[in-house]
Amino acid sequence: MSQVKGKAVLLRCPQGSSLQDEGRMLGTQFGIPSSGAMDQLSYRWANHLLQNKNNALALEMAQPGLKIQFEQACKISLAGARVVVKLNQETLTNPAIISIAAADILEVGGFQSGSRLYLCIQGGFQVDQFLGSGSDFESVTFPSKRSTNDCLSYFSFPQSFPIGAKPKWGTTWFESAEIKAYPGADWSLLSAEQQHQIQTSTFHLSKFSNRMGIQLEELIPNQLEDLPTNPVFPGTVQLTPGGRVIVLMRDAGVTGGYPRILHLSEEGQSQLAQKKVGEPIRFQLMESIAAG
C-alpha cells in the first residue's frame, strides 16, 4: 500500500493530552512505569476499526477543546468519552470512522459522558520508540505531553480501505457504578469488618486523581503494620496508613509498600479511567486470582 508522510498540527491542545499506545513492557526492571492508554478498551476499539496494528499510537485527551488540522488525507477514528465533534465546523453524528481530506480541521467540544477520548489515525502517529513503546512519559520521552502548535507525524494512505459500515462506540458499559475487582495479594490481612466495608461501600472519585493514580474520598480505617516493598501494577488498589484508598493507574510506579487490597479487572481499569471527579463507584468482588 503506497503511503505519503503528513503532519497534523495541534491548533489548540487541551491540557493533559498525550500520545499513548498499549504501554511500555520493557522498563519495569529500571523502575519505569508502563504508561499506555488509560482506557485500553476504547483505545483498542478505535485502532481495530482502522485495521491498525495492536500497538498503534493514539492521541489521548482528558479535557475538551482539541482543534487539529491535517496536512494530508487520512482516516481517523474516535472512541472513549461521548463528545461533540465537528469537522470543518459541521457537527458529526457518528465519529467512529472519519475520512479526512487535506487541510481539514477537526474540533472536539464538551465531554457529555466519560472523561477520556482517543483519536486514532490509520497507521498510528509516528514517533521514536523508547523501550518498545511510543507512550509519552516524563523523563523517558520528549516531549512528555502534547501542547498547542505541536505537530504529529503520520502516514497518509491514498488507496486505503473504503468506509462501508458505520459502527458506533457505546458508553453505557463505563457509566455503571459497579467495577469488577479481585482480592489483592494482601486482602487476607484485612479484618472481616474492613472486607465487608470495602465490598458494600459506595466510593467517590476525589480531585486528587491523574494518570498515576485515582484516590477515593471515603476512608477505610486501617491499623495494619507497614509492609515490605512489593511489585504493583496498573489496577492495583492500595490502602494507605491513613485509610485512603488509591487505585494505581498507567503512570504509577512499579513497587509500593501499602497493602494491595484489590486488583481491578482489565475492563474495570478502563471503566474507572472514564469516571469524572465526584462520580460514585462500587467494587464488585470476583473470585480470587493471582494478583501479583
Element (H, E) at 274: none
C-alpha cell at 267: 475492563
**Coil, helix or strand for 33?**
coil
Instruction: Answer whether 272's CB lies under 8 Å from 116's CB.
Output: no
Q: How far apart are the C-alpha atoms of 52 and 60, rounded to whole Å? A: 16
DSSP string, 5-18: EEEEEEEE--TT-E
Element (H, E) at 269: helix 266-273
C-alpha cell at 171: 458508553
Which residue ranges make up each domain of the chain?
Answer: 4-172, 176-285
Judge if pTM exceeds 0.85. yes
| Beta-bridge partner residues of 87 | 90, 106
**pLDDT score at 168:** 78
Instruction: Answer whether 24's CB lies under 8 Å from 34's CB.
Output: yes
Beta strands 105-121; 244-248: pairing state:
unpaired
**pLDDT score at 169:** 80
If the chain, 292 residues long, is cut into consecutive pieces of 10 residues, what is the mean pLDDT of each piece?
85 97 92 97 96 95 97 96 97 93 97 97 96 94 95 86 72 96 97 97 97 98 89 97 97 96 98 98 82 42
**pLDDT score at 290:** 44
**Coil, helix or strand for 112?**
strand
Superfamily of domain 176-285 in CATH is Cyclophilin-like (2.40.100.10)
**pLDDT score at 161:** 63
Q: How far apart are the C-alpha atoms of 241 and 208, rounded to whole Å? A: 17
**pLDDT score at 157:** 82
What does DSSP assign to residue 126?
B
